[in-house]
Amino acid sequence: KRMEDTGGKVYRLGVMGGTFDPIHYGHLVAAETARIEFRLRQVLFVPTGNPPHKQEKKISPGELRFEMVRRAVADNPNFSLSRLEIERQGPSYTIDTLRILRKDHPESDLYFITGTDALREIFFWHEAAEILKLTNFVAVSRPGYEARDFLEQARKEHPEAQGRISLLEVPALAISSTDVRARVGRGQSIRYLLPEAVRRFIEEKALYRMT
């Protein structure tokens, strides 16, 4: 759909990276909408690892975030998840993940799904130009982050982005993990913001009580 492929391969693999602390319906609706609109065979969720020396922002342990994603995607045969990043030692870069995925899925073009907030950052990612050679981007609209002007500008400044990035409107879901954590911290309900199986896990493990 309106996008040059990385090589005109047979299949399209969606890749949804994120901290997922916790995963919520914003992520799931974004992935599902991208899957249908771009005819992706699968969407692979890739929870980020825990950077060993980065304590400034407290992130829940990788295994707990992984388990929440596992529960969230269990009932969708087109969703799967990867331990690639949570098992990686040392700094974790998207470029490394994409190189591995390209090797593991030689039959597929890659479509990296991000929100429009994350899209604004990709040009600052490690080896950004290289990343744009390995994958397409599907930027899903996120309330509060207009992307159209930004993208027009980016296409001028970064010729390698030409034909590589598409915008996708989804039903506005102003859900964020930050807000979910804050709600738990304040003792408010998070029902209907994320799958019930994830909500129960958060309750069982007493996650986010101190945020």
Can residue 49 be called a binding residue for ligand ATP (CB under 6 A)? Answer: no
125: DSSP letter: S
Q: Which is nearer to ligand ATP, 85 or 109 (CB)?
A: 85
Q: Is 73 in the site for ligand ATP (CB under 6 A)?
A: no
Dihedral sign computed on CA atoms, order 184, 145, 123, 17: positive
Position 135 contacts ligand ATP (CB under 6 A): no
- Give the residue with the Cβ less far from ligand ATP, 12 or 27: 27
Question: CB 106 → ligand ATP: shortest distance, Å?
Answer: 25
Which of left, alpha, beta for 113 (phi over 0: left; psi -120 to 50: alpha)?
beta
Give, in order, the Cα–Cα distances in Å from 136 to each of 36, 74, 109: 16, 26, 8
Among 18, 49, 62, 195, binds ligand ATP (CB under 6 A): 18
Q: Cα separations (Å) of 2 from 6, 32, 202?
A: 13, 19, 40
Q: Which of 69, 84, 131, 140 binds ligand ATP (CB under 6 A)?
A: 140
Using the rule CB under 6 A, give the single segment among 80-88, 113-121, 150-158, 203-211 that binds ligand ATP.
113-121
According to the binding rule CB under 6 A, does residue 166 interact with ligand ATP? no
The yes or no reply on residue 98 touching ligand ATP (CB under 6 A) is no
Whole-angstrom distance, CA of residue 195 vs CA of residue 156: 40
Among 26, 49, 62, 195, binds ligand ATP (CB under 6 A): 26
Spatial separation of the C-alpha atoms in residues 46 and 124, rounded to whole Å: 20
Q: How far is the CB of 76 from ligand ATP (least distance, A)?
A: 16
d(CA 87, CA 166): 30
The answer to whether the beta carbons of residues 122 and 116 sit under 8 Å apart is no
Please identify, using beta-carbon distances, which residue of 32 and 109 lies nearer to ligand ATP.
32
Give the interface with ligand ATP as residue ranges (CB under 6 A): 18-21, 26-27, 30, 114-115, 117-118, 140, 142, 173, 175-178
